[in-house]
Amino acid sequence: MVKAEKIVKEIKGGVIGNLYRNLKWIYGYFHRYIGRILLYVLVELIHMAVNFTISYRVGSLVDYALEKDISKTVVMALVFVGLIVLNAIISILSNRFSAWNCNSMQSYLVKGLYNKIMHADWEELTRYHSGDLITRMSTDARTISGNANGFMTTLISCTLTMIAAVVVIVVNDASMIVVVVIVAPIILFSGKIFMNKIYECQANIKVVESKENSYHKESFHNIQAVKAFGLADEFYKRIEVLEKERYDADMKSNFFSLLSWGVTYLGGIFSGVICIAWAFYRVNKGFMTFGDLSVVFAMALRIAESGKALLGLIPISLQITVATERVRELLDIKDEEEIESDEYEKLVEKGKETGIAVHVKDMSFAYKTSRQIFNNVSLEAHPGEIIALVGPSGEGKTTMLRILLGILNIQQGEAFTCAEGDMNEKLDFSTQTRPLIAYVPQGNTMISGTIEENLRMIAPDATEEEIIDALKQACAYDFVKKLPDGIHHKIGESGIGFSEGQNQRLAIARAILRKTPILLMDEATSALDVATERLVLSNIMKKDARRTCILTTHRPSVLSACDRVYRISDGSVTVIGEAEIQKLMNEF
């Protein structure tokens, strides 16, 4: 009774329980493919039936041969040839069907994960390294989709084969049921001994893989700095450490998998010896014919093959469990709150005439894992104005832009937009207000592809003339037109092939092309010379006099071109006067 309760407890809360819950989730997630999975199971069951028939009929062939019945022997041989050919055809169809299902499910899962990452709450998502996200989207997704199709199929077909084989053996000689009762617990017990250890090893392997992928990504992204500082050997040493971790984790998993397989295999051999010894005894006593013995041997072989396949499912089941838990953790991240309001269209229409203003009033914000960034702060920006945010690094300049983009949610106060002069109809910054904003983030944001493709990313319907005009406003067309392919010139990964200043101007052109009433620029002109920086800002405002522009900067040289400057420091946001601005410029 105690042992039975222990088994139930393990099923509910242990490795087996986790496997059950995760398989239930997998087939729920892939519900649209259930019909195809069941069809694949049916194909495999037909395959099993053909194999089983071949094994079952071997006894008749042996008896006909011993009786020297030539005609029946020839007919049975022809039947065997037909069954073998049929078996080969079914095998080919089964493999093709399996590939179709696996690839379809992997594509569906990867797209689901990518969509989740793109729409997930940004602050929640930052808990994961990008290398870890890539591992979950690739390795873990492949593990799940590759086994969702085959795991249950193998489990069902092999289990049915073993049951059918046992039934045939018992039908041939009812006394064999005693042997089955003796050997079954041996096999079942031996298969469970190392499951928890294998599960722990598989979980550790996934952690190491994520760490390694994360390190690879950072290494390759910063390869210029690595070379410049002569750190290639230091970075290699870190890879040696990570590879040792991966090697140790893999070998430990392999060790326990082999132990599990070995113990179960020996249990199976011991059980097989008992069955065969008893069968020979029965033949010797005249209770079984040689044909019956051949059937028993064939069925024992089927049991052995099915048992081997089921043993192979032990490490696979644990890989599935670990991979599924990692994927589910990612999919469980809450999405950004999608806000829709009828006021948006009214705001857009009014904004065409008056421009769009930005207001922050008595706003407070703190990251979930950090200190208070803003404490009852206020600022405003109006159409036709260039507003600058200055202050020490890490004090909240970029955070303020994220709030205006609706990427972060404030805890107190207001952050909203409205048509200039009309605060009766205002909209809080959220996903809904993003179409009103063009954004130039810090760093290099160009991606692999042509200049045209990079710019069309946010304005697919833009004409070539509009693209060129945006490049001119950003002071980028002078170097673009000198390129062999002009706007069709290919940009390398992370903007390779262009200087930092050129990449910044291309990013500004991309934002300008969006033609929004609000433009946010985060250190977007840091690599430009002072004259070009001023010209870019002048061009932006001349093209649309009602545009509201907010920029962050560490360079006071641009502040004289701004209508208002806010200092962000120690949780506060304050307007600074011309005297302080001039002092900053003189010190710079």
For 575-584, write each residue's pLDDT tens digit.
988 777 777 6
**365 and 425 housed in the same domain:** yes
- Structure-token pair, residue 239: 């890879």
How far is residue 569's CA from residue 101's CA, in Å, rounded to a whole number?
56
Mean pLDDT value of segment 303-322: 76
**256 and 358 housed in the same domain:** no
**347 and 268 housed in the same domain:** no
**61 and 171 housed in the same domain:** yes
How far is residue 442's CA from residue 351's CA, in Å, rounded to a whole number?
28
Query: Around 329, how many Cα atoms within 13 Å sit in the side-chain half-sphere?
Result: 15
- Residue 10 confidence (pLDDT): 42
How far is residue 242's CA from residue 245's CA, in Å, rounded to a whole number?
5
Residue 413 has pLDDT above 90, yes or no: yes
Beta bridge partners of 436: none
Considering only CA atoms, which of 463, 461, 460, 379 is closest in space to residue 414?
379
- Domain stop point among 297, 331, 365: 331
- Residue 568 confidence (pLDDT): 92
SS3 state of residue 513: helix
211 domain-assigned: yes
Residue 4 has pLDDT above 80, yes or no: no
**397 and 272 housed in the same domain:** no
Q: Where are the beta strands (DSSP E) in 408-544?
A: 412-419, 426-428, 437-440, 449-450, 490-491, 518-522
- Residue 207 confidence (pLDDT): 80
How far is residue 10's CA from residue 420's CA, in Å, rounded to a whole number?
65
- Residue 9 confidence (pLDDT): 46
- Domain stop point among 331, 365, 382: 331
Distances (CA, A) of 268 to 159, 173, 308: 15, 20, 9
Residues 263-306 pLDDT 10s = 666 666 666 666 667 667 766 766 666 666 666 666 766 776 77
Residues 528-551 pLDDT 10s = 888 888 888 888 888 777 899 999
How far is residue 367's CA from residue 539's CA, in Å, rounded to a whole number?
36
- Going edge to edge, which strands form the sheet with 372-381? 372-381, 356-366, 412-419, 426-428
How far is residue 154's CA from residue 152's CA, in Å, rounded to a whole number?
5
Distance of CA 55 to the CA centre of its chain: 44
152 domain-assigned: yes
> Could you please report the per-residue DSSP string of 313-381?
HHHHHHHHHHHHHHHHHHHTSPBPP----THHHHHHHHHHHH-EEEEEEEEEEE-TTS-EEEEEEEEEE
Torsion of CA 54, 57, 58, 63, to 10 degrees: -170
> Could you please report the per-residue DSSP string of 12-45?
HHSHHHHHHHHHHHHHHHTGGGHHHHHHHHHHHH
**349 and 325 housed in the same domain:** no
- Domain stop point among 331, 356, 389: 331
Residues 70-119 pLDDT 10s = 776 666 677 777 777 887 888 888 888 888 888 899 899 999 999 998 88
**494 and 420 housed in the same domain:** yes
Helix 290-331 to helix 195-221 angle (10° resolution) is 50
**263 and 368 housed in the same domain:** no
**198 and 305 housed in the same domain:** yes
**355 and 316 housed in the same domain:** no
CATH number, domain of 449, equals: 3.40.50.300
- Residue 265 confidence (pLDDT): 64
14 domain-assigned: no
Q: Which domain holds residue 522?
A: 343-587
- Structure-token pair, residue 456: 């069309």
CB atoms near residue 480 (< 10 Å): 23
467 domain-assigned: yes
Looking only at the bridges linking them, the beta strands covering 356-366 and 386-390 are unpaired
SS3 state of residue 129: coil
Residue carrying structure tokens 């009033």: 361
**389 and 417 housed in the same domain:** yes
**233 and 137 housed in the same domain:** yes
**What are the two backbone dihedrals, phi and then psi, of residue 550, each rounded to the nearest 5 degrees?**
-125, 125
How far is residue 215's CA from residue 267's CA, in Å, rounded to a whole number?
44
How far is residue 346's CA from residue 418's CA, in Å, rounded to a whole number?
10
Minimum mean pLDDT among 52-61, 112-121, 237-246, 490-499: which range? 52-61
pLDDT band at residue 8 under the 50/70/90 scheme: very low
- Residue 378 confidence (pLDDT): 95
Residue carrying structure tokens 């069809």: 39
473 domain-assigned: yes
Residues 201-231 pLDDT 10s = 777 877 887 777 777 777 776 666 666 667 7
19 domain-assigned: no
CATH number, domain of 278, equals: 1.20.1560.10
160 domain-assigned: yes
SS3 state of residue 104: helix
Distances (CA, A) of 338 to 210, 298, 341, 430: 31, 62, 10, 8
How far is residue 294's CA from residue 272's CA, in Å, rounded to a whole number?
14
425 domain-assigned: yes
Residue 364 has pLDDT above 90, yes or no: yes
- Residue 185 confidence (pLDDT): 58
Number of domains in the chain: 2
Mean pLDDT value of segment 463-481: 91
- Structure-token pair, residue 373: 């960034």
